[in-house]
Structure formats: structure tokens, C-alpha cells
Structure 1
């Protein structure tokens, strides 16, 4: 498993860095060309971000932590393998926390 996973992660990370660098370079060139042509670059102004990223990541981490706790108790009290209990509960609680975040964000944006 490691023989496949290590090269995959290594070359995948190199590809991700190259792709992200080319994306930001192209974006910078587009903005510079618009400004040089005397056109308004307001299409790149996205206004005030309303993403509540700290709430999102906080809820995700709390959900993963709860998944670890529940996965530990499931693996100790049942016959489920430890790896399966931890992974399934981390994914379940992490996903549930993101769904809950979506609901909270939707109500917060409706109020504004």
C-alpha cells in the first residue's frame, strides 16, 4: 500500500503546486491587462465575504473530534474493527457538522 500511496501523494502535491501557481499567475496577468487597458477591474471585487470560514472550520473540527470519541467507544464496546469505527464516525460527524453549518449560514445570510 505504501509503495503506491507515497509516490501518488508526492507527485500529486507537485502537480497541485504547479496548477495553483499557474492559476494565480494567469489571474494576475488578467487583472494587469484590464488595468493597463484603462478598463474597470471591478469584476474582481467580490465585496464583503460572507462565508463564515472560522465557524465552518470550527464546526468541522468539533465534528471530527466527536467522531473520534464516538468511534473509540464503538470500537471498545462492539466487535467493529478500530479503523472502521474511527473513520466512519469521523466522516459521519464531520459531514453532519458541515450540513449543520450550511443551515446556520443560510439563516444568517437570510437575516442580513
Structure 2
């Protein structure tokens, strides 16, 4: 491995760790300050929790979308489109459509 690769990888992971750490510590300080001022603790439980089945459905539809994107990219490259363009474009388009379908499916099943 090249020194540059190691430095870039280390920088990326340390940046992600720093952002997550900063977010969690700031949220904790805000909550402690609100509790000290007498705010009700139920204030923190207002967010919607995702169920395991919703996460699985999101990942499944994303995987299906990426798979269809790979197939469509291959079909476009057979037709004559440059494969360097067709594969990423189709993967992102159909992956996004899969995630969009998962939003509507989760909304339908949650009601």
C-alpha cells in the first residue's frame, strides 16, 4: 500500500469518527442542560423509531434497484453506449428508484 492511500483512509475514518463524536457529545450536553432546567424527559422520545422490517425492506429494494441498474447498464453498453457512463448512471438511477419505492412501501405498510 502506498503512503498516500494510508493517509487518505486514516483521514476519512478520523473525520467520520470526529463528526459522530461531536454530534453525540453535543446532543448529550443539550439534553443534560434541558433536564437541569426542568424539562420533561419524554421530550427526547418524540422521534419515530425504525423497525427491523423497514430497514430490511429498504436494503432489499436498494439491492434490487442496483441489480436492475447493472443489467440495464450492460444492455446499454451492448447497444453501443460507453460502459464507463452507462453502468454508474444506471446503478444510481435504479438504486434511487429502489429507495423511492421503499419510501412508498414503508408508508403503505405503516398505515
Which bracket does the TM-score occupy, shorter chain normalised? Answer: 0.7 to 0.9
Can you give the 5+ residue segments of structure 1 that lack an aligned partner in the other structure? 1-5
Distance (whole Å) between structure 2 residues aligned to residue 38 and residue 96 of structure 1: 45
1:35-46 matches, within 5 Å, as 35-46=35-46
Aligned residues: 105
Distance (whole Å) between structure 2 residues aligned to residue 45 and residue 25 of structure 1: 18
Q: Would you say 1:19 and 2:49 are equivalent positions?
A: no
Give the TM-score taking structure 1 as reference length.
0.72
- Give the secondary structure class of the aligned counterpart of 1:71: helix
Q: CA shift at 1:12, angstroms?
A: 4.8
Distance (whole Å) between structure 1 residues aligned to residue 36 and residue 85 of structure 2: 57
Can you give the 5+ residue segments of structure 2 that lack an aligned partner in the other structure? 1-5
Say which is worse superposed, 82-91 or 43-52, in terms of deviation: 43-52
Q: 2:62 aligns with which of 51, 60, 63?
A: 60
Q: Which runs of 4+ in 1 moved over 6 A?
A: 6-9
Give the TM-score taking structure 2 as reference length.
0.72
Q: CA shift at 1:37, angstroms?
A: 4.8
